[in-house]
Amino acid sequence: MKGAQSTCHHSYTLSLLLVSILLFHHPTVSVDVNTLSSTESLTISSNRTLVSPGGVFELGFFKPSALQRWYLGIWYREVFDQKTYAWVANRDNPLSNSIGTLKISGNNLVLLGHSVLWSTNLTRGNLSSPVVAELLPNGNFVMRYSNNDTPSGFLWQSYHRKTGRSRFLTSWRSSDDPSSGYFTYELDTRRGLPEFYVMHKDIELRRGGPWNGIEFSGIPKQRKPYYMMYNYTDNGEEVTYKFFISEQSIYSRLTIDFHGILYQLAWIPPTSRWTALSTLPTDFCDNHINYCGPNAYCELNRLPTSCNCLQGFDRIPERSEGCVRMTPLSCSGNRFLLLKKMKLPDTKMASFYRRINLKKCEEWCLRDCTCTSFAAADVRNGGTGCVMWTRQLNDTRTYSIGGQDLYVKLAAADIDRNEKKIGWSVGVSLMLILSVIVFCFWKRRQKQAKAAATPIVLMNGVVLPRRRNLSEENAVEDLELPLMEFEAVLTATEHFSDCNKVGEGGFGAVYKGRLLDGQEIAVKRLSEMSAQGTNEFMNEVRLIARLQHINLVRLLGCCVDEGEKILIYEYLENLSLDSHLFG
């Protein structure tokens, strides 16, 4: 027993020793961190990064090309195939080599190379409270007081880069050069209704259209997934646009590329790629603002030209773009023409009334001698709010999906002219439709007539036709005998096989045949040498039909088809007449 106890004791001691060795010699496990304290730093050489809680975003140094240019940025950590960047700190001032450090110094975040290349540039009075830098779950990089992690304690944040009172997107210079490019996407709130514009340097290149309660009227969503939610606020004090994702596994971003194309993209894990939900431009109609000129609209599928005058307008003489009114407006006698699925005109010179309905908007525009058109500001719930234009209508187009109603004020004469055009078009369309209906009815009657010539009457179990509409050459009147399809005769006689020939005379050959039900028939096929015409043949058929008698071989039918003249009798075996009559 003692030996056993001693063995157990030594075994237990050895186990503790092994555990101790494993604990003391276990290599250090890398743990993701999302904060940088005032005593820490990130360097290129250490390859250390900050990772947001949940692991979606990562902050660190990167080099996008073979050139020795290093940047501090934030990217999507889980998008493996193509590194997608959400923010770059020193985009216009890269590190020229792999010597770079990010740290907190003097209560500021600073990026150091041989000198300070980037800084948060904060001035703060309370220097006694320590600060930390933190990468949040949504990818926002913030600097805050260490004892206050609420948004009110944020001293600086990457998502709120100070560029005056507005924030905008700026494109990269190229696919591997994050320096500031030539295109921006920004919100203009200075005139009319707030609208987003794609700018090329200081020139308005493309217009996103005003918010209509669901989307920007100039950027209709190509896809409207269930997981996307949008929020637009315009309360007179601020204008903000936000979008949210209801599914945690899906990412979305708004970006403008170095070609000046705006994308809203979604990353859906099963597809492992970025999918475009909307783009600007959507097609060539959005290539640049006012593509077709004033009072004209672009229609993608309209040929020979995509640019057309609004109804009630005509081309400006000696100009390739733009249109003018056919009849000038007066202060009375005007009416409105409804145009559907339109991109609303540029709202720079438009008036916006938030609290009136569409009916009141129409009344106001009708009374205002300078008003040229109106539309609902919000298309939800039948339309609320009012947008009124008082000058020419610029940068309009049609959409196959999306867009909204635009009411254009026209002189009554132009409305009447348009209604006459519509009436004429409707009349022509109705005539075309009626012609198609008549043609289809005629074709159907032909098919019915042909179907009537197909086997539909049972005679001793075989199907024979009641009547047949023949060509002019073979036209016949209705007979008391059924007409048989030539194809049926061919089948019954095995294509007039010599094996089935039972006799031949001066007027043609006689064949034995068998119908589908097994009934045997005798088929007399008149030869071309008989010189008998259709009328003579039909007279013969009528005569034989009237002479039907119990003592005569019964005529079952005939065939006048494909240039053939055929008589079909019941078949008698090669016996005597006495055998047939009395057997």
How far is residue 499 from each of residues 75, 354, 565, measured CA to CA in Å? 88, 95, 21
Give strand pairing partners of 501.
Answer: 511
The helix/strand/coil state of 14 is: helix
The rounded distance, in Å, linking the Cα atoms of 145 and 148 is 5
Residues facing 187 on adjacent strands: 196
Task: Note whether 295 and 309 are within 8 A (CB).
Answer: yes
Q: Answer for the pair 74, 34: CB distance below 8 angstroms, yes or no.
A: no
Specify the pairing of strand 396-397 against strand 296-298: parallel
Of 103, 49, 95, which Cα lies nearest the Cα of 76?
Answer: 49
Question: 484 Cβ partners below 8 Å, 6+ apart?
Answer: 464, 465, 557, 558, 559, 566, 568
- ∠ Cα 119 120 125 (to 5°): 120
Give the Å distances, CA to CA, from 306 to 30, 301, 374, 395: 60, 7, 24, 13
Which strands sit side by side in the sheet containing 296-298, from one edge to the other? 307-309, 296-298, 396-397
524 is in an annotated binding site: yes
User: Is there a contact between 345 and 394 (Cβ–Cβ < 8 Å)?
Assistant: yes
| 57-62/396-397 β-pairing | unpaired
Q: Strand pairing of 313-315 and 384-389?
A: unpaired
Tell me how far CA of residue 132 lies from CA of 39, 54, 565, 575, in angstroms. 9, 20, 107, 121
* Closest to 138 (Cα-Cα) out of 151, 148, 126: 151
Asked if residues 120 and 207 have their Cβ atoms less than 8 Å apart, the reply is no
Where does residue 190 rank: exposed (0-12), middle (13-18), buried (19+ CB within 10 A)? exposed
What is d(CA 113, CA 90) in angstroms, rounded to the nearest whole number?
A: 11
Distance CA(87)–CA(4), nearest Å, equals 68
Q: Is 69 helix (H, G, I), strand (E, B) or coil?
A: coil
Q: In what order do the strands lie in the sheet with 154-157?
A: 35-36, 131-135, 141-145, 154-157
Name the residue among 253, 339, 346, 361 with its Cα closest to residue 294: 346
* Placement of tokens 């309905």 in the chain: 357
Residue list for the binding site for ATP: 524
Residue list for the binding site: 524
